[in-house]
């Protein structure tokens, strides 16, 4: 898994203004949270995957999202039927009926989790991190917060590299992580976490000195930017499509609560 | 270098290959034997496979083909922790190891993992503090010491486990001449006491002035293995790997007859070879 999310391509999604992509990510996240229906959750997830495919993002750059969400989705599918009951009952666990509707709804909720992850990541796959920060600043975020965000995103892979190095260094000193006892396992991670924290603090100290020696903070009002962007007609069209799509979705599936046909029973 | 039956091998690589998950083949069939008491300088360009190879020596990486034997035992049957009792690995950045509130506790960490008794731990720590000349800093937090001292602490912390093989990745990087000299003197003493040292460095002077055996890797293959003098004198092969021996060797080659195969490794040898000879003449 690489934490360098951005995949450089020349697709329709890459050419969109980063502000439009920010709006799209937010709209997709809201849609994922509002949708209850099994089929809508599935269509939303498939729709996002098709969107990424049309943006020429290769599957091996986003398949880690599935791997990361597998434990959570399995847990949801197993536990959801205990709390939601609908349709034919398969069996009882004590007084609790395990129903087909509960299982279907659990699967729908797991689709929702994966869709939420993809809604966040779709922005990062198709947008350079510097442009995300620039977009946030153009939308009103103070520059120093934008830079903090950029450094955080930039340093995620570096930090994971430090974790690997620190773990190897402690293994090389005979550290053995117990497999079974959770408390002992947590305690044995302390050398790794402490060394990592010290390395992180030292890094941040060096970084702040490096920023200040390059005039960071010298001129808040007159700060200039090397690369800039502006809205084109394709961006306004995209905004219009997103707005109409969100309006239709909200009207039919939230206000009118239209449900797609149940074919399971 | 063929296998020397009179000496005890401590690490053996047999047709060692390693291919990373992304398909990159970092090691392409390495056959190598490190003997007890060797002081090896491991040289190669960035990406030649040095770090990949030495990570096999302490079990951090496992071969995708071939074998690694540590004191005769197959490394794949041993955990990294068990190998750490025999093979100590000092990372390039000491901050990747340091985490304890005091130097003394930092030095105790390894022996505790190795299962030493409280008495043995105390002796091992005192020995390490004395050997690395950091006794006065025993109670200090290592994280706030200067870089040179942190480097010494990281070395001492590995030494306190009493491994018989030490692998050091660029131990003199970031140190001034005096600190580097001090550190290498300590490492030299370890070797004179019978420990095996494997040193990775890009500093050819460090290799020439300290090590007894040179190993050169290029593109995952072992291309030179001999005494330091033999390896460093092989200027043409070193040039192909973009490695330049110290100037004293290049100058000696220019001043020597074409059939001369080995050259002085340092200034003192050069003076003895060229200057004093000419003065006598």
Q: What average pLDDT score do residues A81-87 get? A: 88
ipTM of the complex: 0.72
A208-265 pLDDT, tens per residue?
888 878 777 776 666 777 767 889 999 999 999 999 999 998 888 888 877 777 777 7
Residues of B in contact with A190 (CB under 8 A): 99
Give the pairing type, strands B65-70 and B25-35.
unpaired
Per-residue confidence (pLDDT) for residue A221, from 0 to 100: 64
Residues of B in contact with A170 (CB under 8 A): 97
Alpha helices in B26-116 (DSSP H): 50-57, 80-84, 103-113
| CA–CA distance, A120 with A68 (Å, rounded to integer) | 14
CA within 13 Å, CB half, A227: 10
Other Cβ atoms less than 10 A from the Cβ of B260: the count is 12
* pLDDT over 50 at A2, yes or no: no
Q: Is the model's pTM score more than 0.95?
A: no
- Residues constituting chain B: 281
Q: State percent of chain B over pLDDT 70.
A: 97
Distances (CA, A) of A140 to A44, A104, A191, B257: 30, 42, 41, 75
Tell me the pLDDT of chain B averaged across its residues.
90
Per-residue confidence (pLDDT) for residue A28, from 0 to 100: 92
| CB-based contact A81:A103 (threshold 8 Å) | yes
DSSP state of A83: H
For chain B, say whether A205 makes contact (Cβ under 8 Å): no
| CA–CA distance, B160 with B131 (Å, rounded to integer) | 10
| CA–CA distance, A123 with A27 (Å, rounded to integer) | 12
For chain B, say whether A187 makes contact (Cβ under 8 Å): no
* CA-based nearest residue in chain B for residue A165: B96
Instruction: Outline where DSSP puts E strands in B64-201.
Output: 65-70, 73-74, 87-90, 165-169, 196-200
* pLDDT over 90 at B190, yes or no: yes
3-state secondary structure of B196: strand
For helices A190-213 and A143-171, what crossing angle results, to 10°? 140
- Interface with chain B: mutation pick from A4, A170, A174, highest number of B CBs within 10 Å: A174
| CA–CA distance, A17 with A25 (Å, rounded to integer) | 13
Per-residue confidence (pLDDT) for residue A175, from 0 to 100: 82
| CA–CA distance, A253 with B80 (Å, rounded to integer) | 56
Chain A residues 154-183 with CB within 8 Å of chain B:
162, 165-166, 168-176
* CA-based nearest residue in chain A for residue B167: A172
Q: State percent of chain B over pLDDT 90.
A: 60
Going by C-alpha positions, the residue among A139, A121, A142 that lies closest to residue A231 is A139
| CA–CA distance, A192 with A168 (Å, rounded to integer) | 9
| CA–CA distance, A260 with A210 (Å, rounded to integer) | 57
Question: Would the CB atoms of B99 and A173 count as touching at under 8 Å?
Answer: no
DSSP state of B271: I
Residues of B in contact with A174 (CB under 8 A): 81, 84-85, 110, 113-114, 161
B233-257 pLDDT, tens per residue?
998 888 888 888 888 888 888 888 8
Collect all residues from B whose CB is shorter than 8 A from any CB in A. 55, 58, 60, 79-81, 84-85, 88-89, 91, 93, 95-100, 109-110, 113-114, 143, 157-158, 161
Question: Would the CB atoms of B99 and A168 count as touching at under 8 Å?
Answer: no
Question: Would the CB atoms of B114 and A174 count as touching at under 8 Å?
Answer: yes
Instruction: Outline where DSSP puts E strands in B57-153.
Output: 65-70, 73-74, 87-90
Q: Which residues of B15-32 are buried (b: 16+ CB within 10 A; e: fewer)?
A: ebbbeeeeeebbbbebeb
3-state secondary structure of B260: coil
* CA-based nearest residue in chain A for residue B161: A173
- Interface with chain B: mutation pick from A164, A172, A184, A189, highest number of B CBs within 10 Å: A172
Other Cβ atoms less than 10 A from the Cβ of B199: the count is 25
* pLDDT over 60 at A183, yes or no: yes
Question: Would the CB atoms of A170 and B97 count as touching at under 8 Å?
Answer: yes
Q: What average pLDDT score do residues B58-63 get? A: 92
3-state secondary structure of A256: coil
Q: What average pLDDT score do residues B48-56 get? A: 93
* pLDDT over 60 at B279, yes or no: no
Q: What average pLDDT score do residues A166-186 get? A: 81
């Amino acid at each position: 898994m690489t934490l360098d999310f951005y995949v450089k391509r020349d697709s329709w999604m890459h050419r969109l203004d980063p502000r439009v992509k920010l709006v799209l990510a937010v709209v997709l996240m809201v849609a994922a949270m509002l949708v209850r229906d099994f089929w809508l959750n599935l269509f939303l997830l498939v729709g996002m995957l098709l969107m990424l495919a049309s943006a020429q993002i290769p599957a091996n750059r986003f398949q880690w999202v599935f791997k990361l969400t597998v434990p959570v989705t399995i847990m949801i599918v197993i536990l959801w039927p205990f709390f939601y009951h609908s349709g034919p009952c398969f069996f009882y666990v004590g007084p609790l009926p395990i129903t087909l509707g509960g299982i279907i709804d659990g699967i729908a909720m797991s689709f929702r989790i994966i869709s939420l992850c993809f809604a966040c990541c779709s922005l990062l796959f198709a947008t350079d991190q510097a442009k995300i920060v620039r977009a946030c600043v153009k939308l009103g975020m103070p520059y120093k917060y934008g830079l903090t965000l950029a450094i955080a995103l930039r340093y995620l892979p570096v930090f994971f590299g430090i974790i690997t190095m620190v773990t190897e260094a402690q293994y090389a000193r005979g550290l053995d992580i117990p497999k079974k006892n959770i408390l002992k396992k947590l305690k044995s991670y302390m050398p790794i976490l402490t060394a990592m924290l010290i390395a992180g603090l030292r890094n941040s100290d060096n970084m702040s000195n490096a920023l200040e020696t390059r005039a960071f903070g010298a001129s808040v009002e007159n700060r200039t930017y090397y690369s800039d962007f502006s809205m084109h007609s394709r961006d306004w069209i995209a905004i219009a499509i997103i707005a109409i799509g969100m309006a239709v979705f909200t009207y039919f599936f939230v206000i009118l609560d239209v449900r797609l046909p149940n074919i399971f029973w | 270098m063929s296998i020397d039956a009179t000496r005890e091998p401590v690490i053996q690589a047999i047709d060692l290959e390693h291919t990373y998950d992304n398909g990159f083949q970092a090691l392409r069939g390495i056959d190598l034997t490190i003997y007890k008491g060797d002081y090896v300088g491991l040289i190669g360009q960035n990406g030649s496979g040095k770090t990949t190879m030495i990570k096999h020596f302490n079990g951090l990486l496992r071969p995708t083909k071939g074998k690694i034997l540590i004191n005769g035992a197959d490394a794949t049957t041993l955990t990294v922790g068990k190998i750490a009792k025999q093979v100590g690995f000092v990372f390039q950045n000491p901050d990747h190891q340091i985490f304890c509130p005091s130097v003394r506790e930092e030095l105790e960490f390894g022996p505790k993992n190795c299962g030493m008794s409280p008495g043995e731990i105390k002796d091992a720590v005192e020995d390490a503090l004395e050997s690395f000349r950091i006794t006065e800093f025993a109670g200090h937090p290592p994280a706030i010491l200067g870089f040179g001292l942190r480097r010494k602490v990281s070395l001492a912390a590995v030494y306190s486990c009493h491994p018989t093989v030490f692998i050091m990745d660029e131990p003199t990087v970031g140190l001034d001449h005096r600190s580097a000299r001090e550190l290498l003197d300590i490492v030299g003493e370890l070797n004179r006491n019978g420990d095996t040292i494997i040193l990775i460095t890009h500093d050819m002077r460090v290799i020439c002035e300290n090590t007894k055996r040179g190993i050169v890797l290029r593109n995952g293959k072992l291309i030179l293995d001999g005494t330091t003098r033999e390896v460093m004198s092989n200027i043409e092969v070193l040039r192909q790997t973009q490695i330049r021996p110290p100037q004293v060797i290049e100058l000696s080659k220019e001043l020597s007859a074409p059939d001369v195969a080995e050259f002085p490794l340092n200034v003192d040898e050069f003076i003895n070879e060229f200057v004093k000879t000419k003065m006598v003449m």
